[in-house]
Each structure stands twice: as C-alpha cells, then as structure tokens.
Structure 1
Amino acid sequence: MKLLDRYILTTYLKTFFSVFVILMLIFLLQSIWLYIRELAGKDLEIDVVLKFLLYASPRLVVLVLPLTILLSSIMVFGRFAENYEFAAMKSTGISLQRAMRSLAIFIGILSITTYFFANNVMPWAEFNFFNLRRNLAKVKPAMVIAEGQFNEIGNINIKVEDKSGDRGQYLKDVVIHQKKPKRLGNYTVIKSKTGELTNAENEDVLQLVLYDGNYYDALQPNELPERRKKPHVKSSFEKYTLNIDLSQMNNVDLDERNYSTRYNMLTAKELSYTIDTLKIDRKRDIDILATNLQNRSTILTLNNNIKPKKADEPFTGESIYELFDPKQNLQIVNVAINTVNSTNAIIASKERTFFSKEKNVNKHVIAFYEKFALGISCIILFFVGAPLGALIRKGGFGLPIVIAIVLFLTYHFIGIFAKNSAEDSSLNPVLATWVSTLIMLPLSVYLTNRATKDRSLLNLDGILVPVKRLLKPREDDELSDKSLLNPDSKDYQNLLTYSDEKLIDLIKNYRQYDMDAPYRNSSLAILNSRGITEEELRFGGNLFNEKYENALRYKRDYDENSRIAMLLYWFYIVLGVGGAVLNNNGYPTLGKILVVIGVLGLVMFLFAFFKAFNHQTNFYKILGKNRGSNIVIAVVLGIPLFFVYHLLLGTKLSDELKEIT
C-alpha cells in the first residue's frame, strides 16, 4: 500500500470509528429511553440490563452504519478539499477516483461483512431481544407501586396518590380494581384512605392491609331482567386485608426462549423457505375458499334438484318469476338474499384473514431483501458522501453534519414510507426495499462525475437550456458588426462634416440616437483618418458608454429569462388546472400525471422568475435605484399575475434605458 493510500485510509478510519461510537451511544441512549418502562422498577440484575443493551445494539446498526459512512465521507473529503490537499494531489496527477481507491476497497469489504452481519448476527440478536422483552413483561414489582397511576399486580389494579416510609410501605388514597377468575371486567372496586404493605421483600405473597374504606361489588345475575336492575353489594370497613400470590410472577426465567419464527429472526435461507411456504399456504387457503363457496352455491347439484317438465311451446315471458306463484317467489328471493348475505360475510371474514397473511408474506420478503440492500446502500452512500465533501470543501462537524443528516433522513424516510406501503401491497415489497437505495444511486453518479471534472455542485442555468431552445435565439451583439456606410452615401458625407467631439459623442451614445453599428464604425474610421485611434478612445473612456452597455446587457438578460418564465407560467397553469379538472372528473391517473408535470413546470418557472428579478435588480443598481427590497411585492404579485408583471416591467425597463446618458 502506498503512503498516500495509507494516509487517506488511516484518516478515514479514525473519523469512521469515532463517528460510529458516538452515534451508537446516542441511539443506545434513545433505546434505553424508549424501553425504560420495561426495565424500571423490576429489580433487575446488571447482567440482565447489559444483555438487553447487547441484544438491542445490532438492530441499531441498520441506522448507524449508513449514517456513519455518509457523515465520515463528507467530513474527511471535505477536510481534504478545505486544506487544499486535493489540490496538491491533482497537481501531481492524482485524480479523485485514485484518491478514493483504498477507501472504495474498504467500503466494499465492509459491505460484504455487513451482509453476513445482517444475515447471522441480527437474527440472533432479534431472537434474544424479543424473548427477553417478553420475559421482562412478566416480571412485576412485588414491593414497588408507582404513584398516581394504576399498576397491575396479580389479579388487582392498584392506584395510590402518595407513598411514604423507608420502603414505601405506607399508602394514601388507595383505589383497587379486583378481577375475578370467572368474570371479565372490573366489577369489584375497593377504596380506602390509607394502606400498608406488611410482608417481607422476598416473599411470594403480597399482603396489603387497607384502613377506613369501602367495598363495592357489582353483581351479574344470569337473568337479563335482573341484570337490568344493576344489583350490587356495598359495605364499609375499618380494616381489610388482601393476600396476592406473586409466586408465578417472581419466578420468571429471563433466559427462556420460546419464540423463534418472527421474520426478523430468520436468515436469508430460512426466509426464502418460509416465503415459499407462506405463499403455498395462502394459495391453498384461497383454493379452499373458492371450493367452499362453489359448494355453498349448490351449482354442482343444480341439475339433480330440478325435474324438468315437457311443455308444448317455449317460455316467452319477461321474467322467470312468472313460472311461480307469489308465495314461491317470496321464498326464492328470501333464500337468495340470505345466501348472498352469508357469502358476503364469509368473504369479508376471509378477506381480513388473507390480508393478514399477505401482510405477513410481504414482511418476510422485505426482511429477505433488506439483508442485501444494507450492504449496497453502504457503497452508494460512500459515493454520495465522498464527492459531496470534495465539492462543498468543508470539513469538521459543522456544515457536513447538516448535509449528512438531511441526506440520510431523506434516504431513511423514503425507505420507511416505501416499506409501510409495501406491507399492504400498495407497493411491490421488492421495489420498496430497494427504492431508497435506487434513488441515491443516480445522485452518487452525478456527484462523482461533478467532483471528478472539478465542477460546481449544481449548474442551475442548465435547467433552462431546453426551454431556451424553444424560444427565439438571442440577438447578436451589434458591436461585433464591422460594416460601414457607403462612402458615396449622403449619411457618410454628413458624418464628414461632424467635429471630432460630435463624432466621439456619436460613437459613445449611438444607441441613444437610434443609430445602428455602420454609423458607429464609419465614425471610428473618420476619426482614425484624423489621427484619433480606437485605443485612444478606449483609454479616454469614449469608446463605449459603459453605464448604458451594462444596463442594456441586464435588460437583455431580463427579457430572455422573463420570456422563459412567461412560457413556463402558462405551462404550469394549464397543466396544473387541467390535471386537477381531470382528476375530479373520472380521470385520476392522467390528472395526477399532469399535476406532477405542472409542479415541475412551477419549479422551473420560479427559477426563471427569480433569475429575471435578479437581472432587474442589477439594472436598477446601474441607474442608482435600489429595487432589491421589492422582492416581497414581486413574489406576492408577480408570481400569480406574471403575465401582467412581464408586460408592464418590460415596457418600463425599455423607457428607463433611454434615459441613461
């Protein structure tokens, strides 16, 4: 490995591991906060908490690793560009791709490692994490009752307003909802002013002694008329003791693992087998439903139940009901309605079942392709971050962090929205897994190409090039016209009679006099014959009217961008309104397409509008007028009524151009 490759790789690895550790700590703290309710108040050993964090860490790699690669790439290559290290490399003939070679090899190896990590370590961690959480959910505090909220302990829900004592054993304002083994619901309510926990900490029976309270029990008779009377039992007490068995809750094996079939606990091979199995099961269930519905319709035995009768002539009535009497017709309709309602109920029930199974299949498909997408995304995000850092020429923790977070959030949320849509088959689950990576792919190609050619990050003027081609080409500069007047013409003879001062004034301000280039060129020729050269006029500031020429240049730039903006204005108005009309009148697909195209036209219009406004502002600066503060008025009035803005301001600029001296 060459010295340069070793230097770049060492610098990158230092930043990479520093950022990775910092981000992992941040996300781990966020995980602790997210699951704090599952850990707090359960008297867990430190090794159980460490296991919880260990099992939670691999699932964070999906977030931390891509963000680390993106942020580290921007920071390192931004620092190289900011300190002119890239300039030194380029001066010795080392291109950006050559500088990235060692890191590209490292990222490639990291991506392959990431696949094996996602395929082996993450399923193991998810398996242990899920089972540990289920076991922790069974562990209830025997001695700790949170204040101001209901706490489920055994067969009671208890709420206390205040606790006191060295062990929190004295309770105040106690409310208890007691559940009965054979009755669903909270029909027994116990309230007391004070209470006390009297058992030892390690006992399996929680003894709760209540003082000065009331006992209320709503009875539930078997007969409905009696139940409507809402019978109940109510009594008061000075002392009431509750014994709650905690043996099952305090005897939980936190290392027990009973669940191992969730989609995120499987390897790629297991997922592939499970997906095929689920699809086969779903198809079999659909076939069974179709067979059952066909059998319910009795269409297969229809001919067996009908005894045809011979008729002298064919039936010519308007309805088959004419063959039956009204009573039979009523029976036929009732049977048909009942059959249809029953079939609809079966289909609705099965539809929910099939939706759940389809959602489960889609989750397995997403989990399968995520194992491959993670490694590929690391490569693509590196080729986004590295050239982006070289282009923005800024290292450290300032601007690179902002850019990296914006890009990563865009990448991450696109992936989340796509996967959520894919769960209910609104989007193909395979495409949903790759869509965020595929969106970043062209961005990585674009940025790498721009950085390699040492160009700016964005060439916004190129956006309007296709529109400019549709319009009339820009008129040539008259100063490039070298034609002269005919020496025998009357106009030329008049120029010969002009004094030097008048000829110089004509050369300088010929546009204001509504003359064309041949008049100016002929005047230059006459002065040259009199011994006054073009260079002398240039050094004297008399060859051009700089103020007028600059104002004219800005005026022409304004006219060009204003014409483009006018075309785009009608483009987005027509397509946007037309798309909305079609969308509301039975053509949603075509309407949405036109609306999207109209939005793109609006974006291009805004760009052309602000370019025109910028040229307008520069024009007025030459005239000594500050019109930049009118941006709010221009936006509020110019954007919705641009056709008026275009006509009025174009005429006004032409009039003010003539006033320049």
Structure 2
Amino acid sequence: MKTIHKLILKSYLGPMILTFFIVMFVLMMNFLWRYIDELVGKGLDAGIIIELLSYAMANLIPMGLPLATLLAAIMTMGNLGENYELLAMKSAGMSLPQIIKPLIIVVGLISIGSFFIVNDLVPAANKKFYQTMADIRQMKQTLEFKDGLFFNGIDDLSIRVGHQDPETGLLNEVLIYDNRGEGGNLGNMTTTLADSGYIRISDDKRFLVITLYNGESYEQARTPNQWYSQSTLKRNKFKAQKAYIPISGFKMERSDENQFGNMSQTRNIAELQDEIDTLELQVNSATNRSYDPLLKGRIFAKDTLAIMEYPDTLTPRNLRPVDLLDSLPLLDIRQQERIWSQAAIQARNSRSVLTFDETQAKWALSELYRNKVEWHRKLSLPVSIMIFFLIGAPLGAIIRKGGLGMPIVISIGFFVIYYIISISGEKMAKEGTWEAVYGMWLSSFILTPIAVYLTYKATNDSGLLDVDWYIGKFKKIKEKTISLFSRFAYKNKKRDNS
C-alpha cells in the first residue's frame, strides 16, 4: 500500500508544480499587459521590476492555486487511467477513495497553507505593491527626444531637437527655452541654439547634464512687474558649453508603506474583524445621527407645527397639518407666502443635514461591505482548493486521458464557471445586494454538489464521459422508441382491419 501511495504522490506532485508555474506565468503576462503603460519609459532598474513582479505574483497565488490543483488532479488520474494503472489498483481491491487518500492529505495541507498565504503573505505583498506602484507613478518619463517635437517633461524647460542619432545619441539642431529665472514666467528667460550636443540625466538622477557645441544663447532679463517697460537682451556665442541643471522626479523615491495599510486588501483576518466591528458602529451611529433626528424631530414630531411662525389668526397648538392646509386659503397672499417660505427653509435644512450624514454612512457602509468580502475570501480559498481537487480527481479517473489536451480544456471550463460565479457574487456582496457570506461562498455552494456527484460516479466506475457508453444508451433508447412506434402502428392497423 505504501508503495502505491508513493507512486501516486510522485505522479501528482510533478504535474502540480509544473501546472502551478504555468498558471502563474499566464497570470503574470496578464498583469504585465495591464500595467505595461505605467512601467515603460521611466528607466526602472531591473531590481525594481523584479521586486514589483514578486509582489504581484504573491497576490496572484490565490487565483493560481485552485486552477493548478484542478489541472494536476485531472492529469494525474487521467495518466493512471490511460496506462491501466488505475484499473490494476481497483482490481487489487482498492477503491477510489483509498487510491486518492494520500493526495487528499497533501491537498489538505496545501489548503491549510493557502490560508496562511492569503492571510499573511498577500496583505503584506499588496501593501508593498501599492507603495511601489505609487512611487513609480510619481516618477517622470525618461528623456525621449523625437525629431522636430518639443520635450516638456522638465519643469520650466522646453527642448527641441532636429534629429537624434540612435547609435551615439548625438543631438542636432538643438533649441532650448529656459524659464527657470526668478519670478516664474516674469523672470529671466534664456533661449539657446546649438548645432549639436548631448543631453542626459546624471547617474544619480539629480541633474540634467547638457553639453552643447557651436551655438549661441539669448538671455532676456525682465524686471518683475515691469516687463512691459523694462527689459534687456544679452547675446552669447560659444563653441562648447556644459551645464548642470537640478531636476527632480526622475529618481524613484520610496514612500511610507503604512499609508496603504488602511485598505481591505492589506489587512489580515484579525485586522479585518476589528475594522468590521468599527465600521458597524460607525454605520449605526451615522444612521442614528441622520435618520432618527430627521424623522422624530422634524418630519413626524408631535410639535412639528410649533417650529414655524404663524399669523395671529392661526393657533398652531390646536391645528393639525390637514387643518393647516385647509386654513391657508383663508389667509392673504403675504401670509401664505411666509408660511410656504418657512416650510421650504425647514425642508432644505433637513435635506442638508441628511445629505451630510448620509454621505458618511454610505462611505462606512461601502467599506464595511469590502472588508466583509475580504474576510470571507480568506476562508473560501482553502475550501475552493479542496473542491477543485475533488472535481479533478474523479474527472481524471472517468475520462482516462492524460497529457495537456483534454485536461486543460476541462480545467479551463470549470475555472471559467468558478471565476464568473465568484466575480458575480463578489460584485453583489460589495454593492450590498447580497450578504458577503452568500456572495463569496456561492461558487463553493454550486461546485460542491458537482464534486460529490463526480466522486460518486468515479467510485462506481460510471461511463459519464465515455462516448461508447452514450452511444450504447442512445441505441437502447432508439430501439425502445422504434418498438413502441411499431406496437402503436400494429394496433392501429389491427383496429382498422377489424
């Protein structure tokens, strides 16, 4: 028995590791496709790119593990069935649950480990990922000169080149507008023309190094607030000129990662529970502050009429709202207008108070839904891994096909169904249409009966996906149908003859 179990474990662990890295590679390609525009053209070091990809990979593990588990289970059991090894084990008296018992233990350990991954590793990786992406977004584009176009990526500098040699980087027909003088645009402005030169960023990315040849510069000195009356023009020719201009934004500066710790994706399950308790108190408090005073103190208050000023001809103490409406036509136009104005002011004040508190309540309620979704996501992942295994192992035993053909098709089909159901349930849970427990566990509720049914069929050697089995069933149904029609036709013919 131990030898057979070692064989099964060896047959499963290899495809599991292989399929996991294949799935992670596909998901990483999708990640790069989404963020490629924000990464290209900023001169990022290879270390920063690798660091960012590692954070993204940790975030993609919860999506890759269930699919890898499903695909590996179908491949393993399909290979055993295709090579008649599974048939030999069953002939020796082993049932399917006994055969996959060591795999259930391994997948159970993987499921338990996935909880710690999604609870500890993923929030930390998300925090680092959001911090790194925010720092990258703050960076400016690297120097990219296009022939005949101005480059305005540096504050108060506009640079135009006629042509750039792609091999040497030599710039021809350089034109530079420098507005870095004191007073902004009302300060000194320098225009520089050069036949050729080099413009690059220093290694520490703190200076713009400009080296120009055979040119001249024009400096227009203006007196602040008197540009319209006083200005001087200075002209300077040069054969070679080198300048260092301080710049900022081209070097990646690390920010504090704790500023991203207040997001639901960056909290573990204990922190999420604390945040859920806090948000529930905030929602209840905001609701009580907004709706209760409005309903009890303004709309349905017993002394609603007492908050308004009435003409001497009306006595609010003895009036009801219906009586007040009946009495309004008895007043003159000015008195009616005053009463309606007071009512409109009270309505606007009530709406303002309600809108202010309702905004806070909606924000707290939205955050509450998001934190509940993340809380249930951390618990639903280990269960989904086990469910996918219990779907994949019986499927592989039924179809008896190994390799990457049929298993990939079936795995992708089940995973697409799982993904669509999960996304739909998560969306409804975040909107508050469903409770988070229903939205996040909907896919598990739907796939669990399928796993139980497939396990039952595989244990009883059902020909669920056997084409010959379906052909035989179709032939039997066809023969029964023909027999029934023949009997019916014979009875009708006999009745007509009689």
Q: 1:268 to 1:309 in 2, by over 3 A?
A: closer
TM-score using structure 2 length:
0.74
Matched with 2:14 is: 14
Letter in 2 for 1:57: M
Alignment of 1:386-425 (within 5 A): 386-425=393-432
Matched with 1:3 is: 3
Distance across 1 between alignment mates of 2:174 and 2:298:
63
- How many Å apart are 1:431 and its aligned residue? 1.1
Query: What is the CA–CA distance in structure 2 between the aligned matches of 1:311 and 1:358, rounded to whole Å?
Result: 41
Cα offset, 1:346, TM superposition: 5.3
The structure whose Rg is larger is 1
Do structure 1's residue 328 and structure 2's residue 348 form an aligned pair? Answer: no
CA–CA distance in structure 1, aligned partners of residues 458 and 139 of structure 2: 57
Per the alignment, residue 368 of structure 1 pairs with 375
Q: How does 1:149-548 map to 2 (within 5 A)?
A: 153-155=153-155, 164-165=164-165, 166-167=168-169, 169=171, 199-202=199-202, 204=206, 247-254=247-254, 256-257=256-257, 258-290=259-291, 293=294, 303=306, 319-341=326-348, 343-344=350-351, 347=354, 351-457=358-464
In the alignment, what sits opposite 1:63?
A: 63
Cα distance in structure 1, aligned partners of 2:385 and 2:82: 25
Percent identical pairs in the alignment equals 26
- Taking a change above 3 Å as real, the CA distance of residues 554 and 439 of structure 1, as seen in their structure-2 partners, is closer
Q: Distance in 2 between the 1:304 and 1:336 partners? A: 10
Aligned CA distance change for structure 1 residues 13 and 54 (closer, same or farther; 3 Å): same
Task: Give the 3 Å change call, closer, same or farther, for CA 422–373 of structure 1 in structure 2.
Answer: same
Instruction: Report the Cα distance in structure 2 between the residues aligned to 1:426 and 1:204, rounded to whole angstroms.
Output: 52
Q: Within 2, Cα distance between the matches of 1:173 and 1:436?
A: 62
> In 2, distance between residues paired with 1:551 and 1:437?
38
C-alpha separation in 2, matches of 1:151 and 1:69: 51
Distance 1:318 1:73 in 2: 76
Counterpart in the other structure of 2:230: none
Q: 1:394 aligns to what SS in structure 2?
A: coil
Aligned pairs for 1:532-611 within 5 A: 553-556=480-483
Q: 1:40 to 1:318 in 2, by over 3 A?
A: closer
Q: CA deviation at 1:347?
A: 4.1
Asked which structure has the greater RCO (Cα within 8 Å, sep 6+), the reply is: 2
SS in 2 for 1:26: helix
Q: SS state of the match for residue 100, structure 2?
A: helix
The 2-side partners of 1:196 and 1:251 are apart by: 27
CA distance in structure 2 between the partners assigned to 1:313 and 1:349 by the alignment: 32
Aligned residues: 439
Structure 1 residues 626-656: Cα deviation after superposition (integer angstroms, max 9, x where no partner): xxxxxxxxxxxxxxxxxxxxxxxx99xx89x
In terms of mean alpha carbon deviation, does 310-319 or 441-450 score higher? 310-319
Equivalence for 1:31? 31
Matched residue, 2:222 = none
Could you tell me whether the CA contact under 8 Å between 2:78 and 2:402 is conserved in 1? yes
Distance (Å, rounded) in 2 between the aligned partners of 1:285 and 1:321: 37
Distance 1:552 1:312 in 2: 90
Which one-letter code corresponds to 1:65 in the other structure? L
User: For 1:451-473, what per-residue CA distance to the aligned partner results, in whole angstroms no more than 9, with x for missing partners?
Assistant: 1111122799xxxxxxxxxxxxx
RMSD of aligned Cα (Å): 4.7
Q: Give the unaligned 5+ runs of structure 2.
A: 186-192, 216-234, 237-242, 468-476
2:370 and 2:449 mapped to 1: Cα distance?
A: 27
The offset of 1:68, in angstroms, is 0.3
Could you tell me how far apart the structure 2 residues matched to 1:337 and 1:559 are?
Answer: 84
Counterparts in 2 of 1:400 and 1:342: CA distance versus 1, 3 Å: same
Q: Render the CA deviation track for 1:588-619: whole Å, top value 9, x for unaligned.
A: xxxxxxxxxxxxxxxxxxxxxxxxxxxxxxxx
1:348, CA displacement in angstroms? Answer: 5.0
Task: Give the whole-Å Cα distance in 2 for the aligned partners of 1:133 and 1:61.
Answer: 19
The CA distance in 1 between the partners of 2:170 and 2:156, in whole Å, is: 19
In the TM superposition, what is the alpha-carbon distance from 1:281 to its structure 2 partner? 1.4
Give yes or no for contact 1:362–1:423 (8 Å, CA) kept in 2.
Answer: yes
Give the CA deviation at 1:334.
3.0
Which one-letter code corresponds to 1:286 in the other structure? T
Per the alignment, residue 91 of structure 1 pairs with: 91
CA distance in 2, matches of 1:139, 1:311: 69
Deviation track 1:393-450 (CA, whole Å, cap 9, x = no partner) reads 2111111110100100110121012111221112222211111111110000010011
Amino acid of the residue matched to residue 86 of structure 1?
Answer: L
SS in structure 2 at match of 1:144: coil
